[in-house]
Amino acid sequence: MDKSTPQAIHLKDYAPPPYLIDTVDLAFDLGEDVTRVRSRLAIRANPDAASPAGALVLDGQDMRLVSVALDGRTLDPSEYSVGPESLTIPGPPEAFSLEVVTELKPQENTSLSGLYRTSGNFCTQCEAEGFRKITYFLDRPDVMARYRTTITADALKYPVMLSNGNLVASSKMEGDGRHTVTWEDPFAKPSYLFALVAGVLVHVEDSYVTRSGRTVTLRIYVEPGNQDKCGHAMASLKKSMAWDEEVFGLEYDLDIFMIVAVGDFNMGAMENKGLNVFNTKYVLAKPETATDTDFLGVEAVVAHEYFHNWTGNRVTCRDWFQLSLKEGLTVFRDQEFSSDMHSRPVKRIADVQRLRAAQFPEDSGPMAHPVRPDSYIEINNFYTTTVYEKGAEVVRMIHTLLGADGFRKGMDLYFERHDGQAVTCDDFVAAMEDAAGKDLGQFRRWYSQAGTPELAVTGEYDAAARTYRLTVRQSCPPTPGQPTKLPFHIPLALGLLDPSGADIPLRLAGEPGPAGTSRVLDVTGPEQVFEFVDVPRQPVPSLLRGFSAPVKLRAPYTDDDLTFLMAHDGDAFNRWEAGQTLATRLLLDLVADRAENRPLELSPGFIDAFSRILKDPDLDPAFAAQALTLPSEGYLGQQMPVIDVDGIHEVRTFARRAIAGRLRDDLLATYRAMGGNEPFSIDAAAIGRRALKNLALGYLMALEDAEAVELCVGQFHNAQAMTDVIAALGLLADTRLPQRESALRRFYDLWKDEPLVVDKWFSIQAMSERPETLDEVAALLAHPAFEIRNPNKVYALIGGFAGGNPVRFHDAGGGGYRFLADQVLALNRLNPQVASRMVKMFARWRKYDPRRQSLMRAELERIVATPGLSRDVFEIASKSLEAS
Ligand code: B3K
Ligand code: ZN
């Protein structure tokens, strides 16, 4: 905790490290009370440093320094100085060895960063700056060293002791009941990829033979009793390994790959070299306990962390401003992997929904920052959806501009040039440019300019000349610190539909003949005109196919155009998009009607379009489920200058009832058709059928008639798969039915010993639209299964309420706001990273009406005025309050 006002760190101040560390030899003596760490470093002055090396300043915090020795000689305390976050040795030799001994108390570490305890085991998390809580070090990613790690601990309490690389030595129990192991990682790595795990763990094992014929041992370590939930993670790992070889020619490089699942973890998982540490949420899955969303999450996160081995570990980031170098690229890779494993359009829709739900608001709020930020106060606050998801969109645009082959050549060149190095986003773009021979100069602005660009497109058909002129204008709203923007290079993928719904062959003026029916236009100027020739009839343009750029599209479509595109667009993403655009328009009109006390009525044409989707036997059920889902309350709110929380909730509820009322029989038929009794399977088709079935049940429950309730209660009691149980329970939780309480009780009784399932129980209650939800959530804080030190519990209950229940969190009384601020302050002391994630829910306070604004602002002011605020919370809360 900082007493003074925390200071920002700037990209423009980057300088290479004055010293390099070639090898790190660590010895951990793990104890119940004190853990002792002996670190031996081979250090030398950096020949590429800007200025003479001077004093050696090592990072370190929250430890007790025991001793320092230089080239074997123990230093007198007068020969070094220790600050709250550093150890300084003035004027060391050009090259030397340094031995530092520190003592830690991992059992008191509630931040879950550095070395900490979880379920009695030891575990580390070093990204971004946790290694400095273990030992004094140059804790920055451009210092890459080879690590050797020895661990000694009680053999009964910690039978399993793991670190990065290969096991090179182990000694049996000594007379004192302790044992020792030594691990060696042959690959140089930054300190943030260091990991250690020790405790009572069991593992499931498999193996994988790489393309070049090496056998790799694969192990997933879990707490005893969870072995039966590792199959999906293991299968996902093997698929990821095969996919990376096939698509990018990248093989795994050690003899063993380990995953450890722990219950207390701040985020999803961590890609430590050879020893990934995972939140149990992204490992443990079996049909009885995990939903389809969980299964897909496990697959995607296992893949993501595995892919980091090349994009992140072998080639890492020079500094933390370059975080998207590894994260944006690795998210892109995991998205592509999941697309190949399942349905590409369905995956694309889910990814775009996520981008719009989280990244677009971030990009237009007080925390807006470029994909490569210019400054930060606390780097852990920048593991954002902008760095991750928008970063992935930026990589995807490069892929679109270069084509799959060009992109692959760029990746090959990137690894050829930079394997073993710590590099920048610019290095990545340069490799892409050089390999494909395409100028990405202007494109680089995607890394430096924040904000979501807007693309306004209009079309003009000239029947006599048979030409169709598209005028494209781009603009980008100001963001903090960036009042004006230069034009972006935007790949605009499009097609033109003729009146029958078929794609017209595309020929731009000046081209010798038509080529293809889908094109990527290079939009680079503030305003550009593209003229298509040989266009026989007035077309309907299908714009931004596949969401080819992370922008907001404005096009003057009529309702009929949208209905037409919904039915005919050859691009599945745009078929979905047309429906969403139409639904958004209609629902916002209804919100306005409600505000003006006009009667609400949902357009019959829209309901007919829904009916056609529902009855189309050729449609992929997964796609149909997405197409039949109305835009979320959050998304609708984003489209309004002042978010009308209650109006949106009421109108969306009204629309769901209107659709259900009109299409009741079709919904029932769909429910029954998708319900089949086939054995559980996790393939895309089965997931799609469950999604459509539960969507139908959701609409039917909007009517809450006897038949719907019976189906819902029956499904809750009889379903085998958690997906179906949770769908039913979530619907019951919104009602005042007598079955609600008994279902919630029964669910808890059944699953009280499965923490991940209990999390679902918390979040379902937190997201209930009933007016008493806040009181119930507050009461649940005292439930024996709730534990504020466990991030998953916080995300489920507090996060579920503040982030997943707009109508209750934003209750005009302000109780929700007070509740969240209280929790932020409680968490601030225990776990700043989790606290900071929670305080972000206030960031968009300026989007609400004056009354809610002042209530939220008061809570933010209360937080900022609290003494002992962590850098994490201070940065978010204070930036949220800054003038917009
Ligand atoms: N690299 C980690 C995230 C670390 C977050 C540190 N606060 C997981 C991932 O993106 O794969
Ligand atoms: Zn990552």
Known catalytic membership, residue 184 = no
Q: How many whole angstroms separate alpha carbon 298 and alpha carbon 230? A: 10
In this predicted structure, the answer to whether residue 335 has a pLDDT above a threshold of 90 is: yes
Closest by CA position to 547, among listed 525, 566, 520, 528: 520
Going from the Cα of 276 to the center of ligand 1, the distance in angstroms, rounded, reads 11
Going from the Cα of 263 to the center of ligand 1, the distance in angstroms, rounded, reads 16
Sheet arrangement for strand 215-222: 202-209, 215-222, 256-262, 275-279, 269-270
In this predicted structure, the answer to whether residue 61 has a pLDDT above a threshold of 60 is: yes
Nearest bound ligand to the CA of residue 276: 1
In this predicted structure, the answer to whether residue 175 has a pLDDT above a threshold of 90 is: no
Q: Which atom of ligand 1 is nearest to the CA of 266?
A: 7
In this predicted structure, the answer to whether residue 13 has a pLDDT above a threshold of 70 is: yes
In this predicted structure, the answer to whether residue 884 has a pLDDT above a threshold of 70 is: no
Check pocket membership of 380 for ligand 1, CB cut-off 6 A.
Answer: yes
Q: Which atom of ligand 1 is nearest to the CA of 327?
A: 10
State whether residue 170 is helix, strand or coil.
strand
Cα angle: 779, vertex 784, 788; to 5 degrees = 75
What's the full length of the chain, in residues?
884
Check pocket membership of 329 for ligand 1, CB cut-off 6 A.
Answer: no
pLDDT in tens, 288-321: 999 999 999 999 999 999 999 999 999 999 999 9
Residue 678 confidence (pLDDT): 79
* Residue 148 vs residues 29, 162, 199, 211: alpha-carbon distances, Å: 14, 12, 20, 28
Check pocket membership of 129 for ligand 1, CB cut-off 6 A.
Answer: no
The protein residue whose alpha carbon is closest to atom 5 in ligand 1 is 127
| Average per-residue pLDDT for the chain | 97
Element (H, E) at 279: strand 275-279
Residue 824 confidence (pLDDT): 99
Q: How many whole angstroms separate alpha carbon 570 and alpha carbon 620? A: 14
pLDDT in tens, 738-769: 999 999 999 999 999 999 999 999 999 999 99
Closest by CA position to 577, among listed 545, 616, 600: 545
Buried b / exposed e along 640-667 (16+ C-beta atoms within 10 A): eeebbbbbbbbbbebbbebbbebbbebb
Beta strand pairing call for 19-29 and 144-154: parallel
Check pocket membership of 320 for ligand 1, CB cut-off 6 A.
Answer: no
Residue 4 confidence (pLDDT): 72
Going from the Cα of 381 to the center of ligand 1, the distance in angstroms, rounded, reads 11
Looking at the DSSP assignment, which residues form a beta bridge with residue 23?
42, 146
In this predicted structure, the answer to whether residue 883 has a pLDDT above a threshold of 80 is: no
What's the whole-number mean pLDDT along residues 694-710?
98
User: Encoding tokens for residue 685?
Assistant: 């088709």
The protein residue whose alpha carbon is closest to atom 2 in ligand 1 is 270
Check pocket membership of 378 for ligand 1, CB cut-off 6 A.
Answer: no
Going from the Cα of 329 to the center of ligand 2, the distance in angstroms, rounded, reads 9
Phi, psi of 856 (to 5 degrees): -70, -40
Q: How many whole angstroms separate alpha carbon 349 and alpha carbon 801? A: 25
Q: How many whole angstroms separate alpha carbon 534 and alpha carbon 466? A: 5
Other C-beta atoms closer than 10 Å to the C-beta of 93 total 12
Residue 50 confidence (pLDDT): 85
Check pocket membership of 872 for ligand 1, CB cut-off 6 A.
Answer: no
Q: Which atom of ligand 1 is nearest to the CA of 128?
A: 6
* Residue 58 vs residues 3, 54, 101, 139, 860: alpha-carbon distances, Å: 21, 13, 13, 8, 35
pLDDT in tens, 444-453: 999 999 999 9
The protein residue whose alpha carbon is closest to atom 10 in ligand 1 is 327
State whether residue 630 is helix, strand or coil.
coil
Check pocket membership of 572 for ligand 1, CB cut-off 6 A.
Answer: no
Q: How many whole angstroms separate alpha carbon 145 and alpha carbon 41? A: 9
User: Encoding tokens for residue 325?
Assistant: 């170098």
pLDDT-based confidence at 270, cuts 50/70/90? very high
The protein residue whose alpha carbon is closest to atom 7 in ligand 1 is 380
Q: How many whole angstroms separate alpha carbon 293 and alpha carbon 687? A: 9
Share of the chain above pLDDT 90, in %: 98
What's the whole-number mean pLDDT along residues 45-54?
91
Check pocket membership of 305 for ligand 1, CB cut-off 6 A.
Answer: yes
Residue 1 confidence (pLDDT): 43
What's the whole-number mean pLDDT along residues 784-811?
98
Q: How many whole angstroms separate alpha carbon 268 and alpha carbon 283? A: 10
Closest by CA position to 470, among listed 487, 452, 493: 493
Q: Which residues contact 414 (CB under 8 A, 6 or more apart)?
A: 315, 427, 428, 431, 432
What's the whole-number mean pLDDT along residues 120-144?
98
Check pocket membership of 334 for ligand 1, CB cut-off 6 A.
Answer: no
Cα angle: 609, vertex 613, 615; to 5 degrees = 115
CA atoms within 13 A on the CB side of 113: 21
State whether residue 123 is helix, strand or coil.
strand
Q: What sign has the CA pseudo-torsion 499, 500, 503, 508?
A: negative
* Residue 416 vs residues 145, 403, 421, 518: alpha-carbon distances, Å: 20, 20, 11, 33
pLDDT in tens, 644-700: 999 999 999 999 999 999 999 999 999 999 987 778 999 999 999 999 999 999 999
Phi, psi of 64 (to 5 degrees): -105, 125
Catalytic residue among 223, 305, 327, 393: 305
Residue for token digits 């009384």? 813
Burial category of 437 from C-beta neighbours within 10 Å (exposed 0-12, middle 13-18, buried 19 and up): exposed
Q: How many whole angstroms separate alpha carbon 561 and alpha carbon 744? A: 45
Sheet arrangement for strand 86-89: 56-59, 86-89, 81-83
DSSP state letter for 23: E
Q: Which atom of ligand 1 is nearest to the CA of 380?
A: 7
Check pocket membership of 267 for ligand 1, CB cut-off 6 A.
Answer: yes
Q: How many whole angstroms separate alpha carbon 13 and alpha carbon 374? A: 10
Residue type, 1: M
In this predicted structure, the answer to whether residue 173 has a pLDDT above a threshold of 90 is: no
Going from the Cα of 714 to the center of ligand 1, the distance in angstroms, rounded, reads 41
The protein residue whose alpha carbon is closest to atom 4 in ligand 1 is 127
From 124, 189, 271, mutation site for ligand 1 pocket: most ligand atoms within 8 A of C-beta: 271
* Contact between residue 826 and residue 787 where contact means Cβ atoms under 8 Å apart: no
pLDDT in tens, 356-407: 999 999 999 999 999 999 999 999 999 999 999 999 999 999 999 999 999 9
DSSP state letter for 540: E
